């Protein structure tokens, strides 16, 4: 039986594109939530929200590939070092308040390698 989080209208799981060989990240341009997992270890890696989800997800990559700023280099290093095994899915939202509610639910119900 799926947990509460699985009942939302998630995108399909997609391979996280490796910026060293090009690729396309498909994510909401507006409010959105993302979740990453490592398919080799079958563990959830991290999740997060953004008012521009695609831009926020690109900040997960180390420089010179990533956009924006992150204060956690270990997340960025993990992602680039394991990128061939990383998949992601997203949820889009029209309301920021709803997005934040779902983020709190996921934080309670799912275990992730990195806290957001």
Domain definitions of the chain by residue range: 4-109
Q: What is the pLDDT of residues 73-109, one digit of tens each?
A: 888 999 999 999 999 999 999 999 999 999 998 888 8
| R_g (Cα) of the chain, nearest Å | 13
Cβ–Cβ < 8 Å for 29, 6: no
| CATH number for region 4-109 | 3.40.1440.10
Predicted TM-score of the model (pTM): 0.88
Both tokens of 45, joined, read: 């890696």
């Amino acid at each position: 039986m799926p947990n509460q989080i699985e009942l939302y209208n998630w995108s399909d799981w997609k391979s996280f594109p490796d910026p060293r060989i090009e690729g396309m990240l498909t994510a909401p341009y507006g409010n959105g939530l993302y979740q990453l997992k490592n398919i080799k270890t079958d563990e959830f890696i991290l999740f997060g929200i953004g008012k521009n989800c695609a831009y926020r997800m690109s900040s997960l990559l180390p420089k010179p590939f990533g956009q924006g700023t992150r204060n956690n280099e270990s997340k960025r290093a993990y992602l680039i070092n394991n990128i061939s095994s990383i998949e992601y899915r997203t949820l889009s939202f029209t309301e920021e308040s709803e997005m934040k509610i779902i983020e709190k639910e996921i934080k309670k119900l799912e275990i992730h390698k990195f806290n957001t």
